[in-house]
Amino acid sequence: MNVSKLDYKNSFELRELKEFLEKFELEFDSSVDYTAVIRENEEIIATVSKDRNIIKDFAVDKSHQGKGLSNILLTEIRNKLVEEGYLSSMIFTKIENKFIFEDMGYKKVACTDKVILLEQGNEDIEGIISNIIKNNNLDIRHKRAMIVMNCNPFTLGHRYLIENAAKNNNEVIIFVLEENKSTFSFKTRIQLVKKGTEDLKNVKVVPSTKYIISSATFPSYFLKDKNSMLTEYAKLDSEIIATKFCRRLNINHRYLGEEPFDEVTSVYNRIISEILPKYGIEVNIIPRKSIDGKIISASSVRKLLKEGKMEEIRKIVPYTTFEYLDSLKNKEISGKLK
What are the pLDDT digits (tens) for 296-325? Answer: 999 999 999 999 999 999 999 999 999 999
Q: Which of 28, 63, 87 is the last residue of a domain?
A: 87
Residue 116 resides in a domain: no
Residue 219 has pLDDT above 80, yes or no: no
The pLDDT of residue 122 is: 85
- Measured from the Cβ of residue 115, the count of other Cβ atoms closer than 10 Å reads 20
Number of compact structural domains in the chain: 2
User: Both 301 and 153 in a single domain?
Assistant: yes
Beta carbons of 142 and 177 less than 8 angstroms apart: no
User: Both 53 and 154 in a single domain?
Assistant: no
The pLDDT of residue 31 is: 86
Q: Name the CA dihedral angle for 172, 263, 117, 162, rounded to a multiple of 10 degrees.
A: -10
User: Both 190 and 258 in a single domain?
Assistant: yes
Q: What pLDDT, in 10s, does the model give residues 22-36?
A: 999 888 888 899 999
**Which residue range is the domain that position 208 belongs to?**
126-327
User: Both 61 and 149 in a single domain?
Assistant: no
User: Both 83 and 130 in a single domain?
Assistant: no
| pLDDT interval class at 223 (50, 70, 90) | very low
The CA-atom distances, in angstroms, between 318 and each of 101, 128, 190, 279, 301 are 47, 31, 14, 35, 12
Percent pLDDT > 90 in the chain is 78
Q: What is the CATH number of the domain that holds 174?
A: 3.40.50.620
The pLDDT of residue 222 is: 44
Beta carbons of 23 and 65 less than 8 angstroms apart: no
Residue 335 resides in a domain: no
Residue 97 resides in a domain: no
Bridge partners, 290 (sequence order): 295
Specify the range with the lowest mean pLDDT, choosing from 43-47, 64-68, 239-243: 64-68
The pLDDT of residue 330 is: 55
The pLDDT of residue 215 is: 72
Residue 288 resides in a domain: yes
User: Both 264 and 201 in a single domain?
Assistant: yes
| Peptide linkage before 153 cis (omega within 30 of 0) | yes
Residue 115 resides in a domain: no
User: Both 50 and 139 in a single domain?
Assistant: no
Beta carbons of 234 and 244 less than 8 angstroms apart: no
Residue 199 resides in a domain: yes
Residue 159 has pLDDT above 70, yes or no: yes
Nearest to 212 by CA among 239, 187, 232: 239
Q: Which of 61, 87, 113 is the last residue of a domain?
A: 87
Q: What pLDDT, in 10s, does the model give residues 183-211?
A: 999 999 999 999 999 999 999 999 999 99
User: Both 225 and 78 in a single domain?
Assistant: no
The pLDDT of residue 336 is: 62
The pLDDT of residue 231 is: 87
Specify the range with the lowest mean pLDDT, choosing from 14-23, 245-254, 256-265: 256-265
Residues with Cβ < 8 Å from 260, sequence gap 6 or more? 266, 288, 295
Beta carbons of 70 and 32 less than 8 angstroms apart: no
Between 73 and 1, the more confident residue is: 73
User: Both 69 and 135 in a single domain?
Assistant: no
User: Both 62 and 164 in a single domain?
Assistant: no
Residue 216 has pLDDT above 80, yes or no: no
Average pLDDT value for residue range 216-221: 59
Average pLDDT value for residue range 218-246: 77
User: Both 144 and 72 in a single domain?
Assistant: no
Residue 217 has pLDDT above 90, yes or no: no
Q: Which of 87, 112, 144 is the last residue of a domain?
A: 87
The pLDDT of residue 319 is: 98
Residue 102 resides in a domain: no
User: Both 191 and 309 in a single domain?
Assistant: yes
CA 106 to chain centre: 20
Give CA–CA dist 117/106, Å, rounded: 10
Q: What pLDDT, in 10s, does the model give residues 93-135?
A: 889 999 999 998 999 999 999 889 999 988 899 999 999 999 9
Residue 104 resides in a domain: no
Q: What is the CATH number of the domain that holds 76?
A: 3.40.630.30
Average pLDDT, the chain: 92
Bridge partners, 205 (sequence order): 174
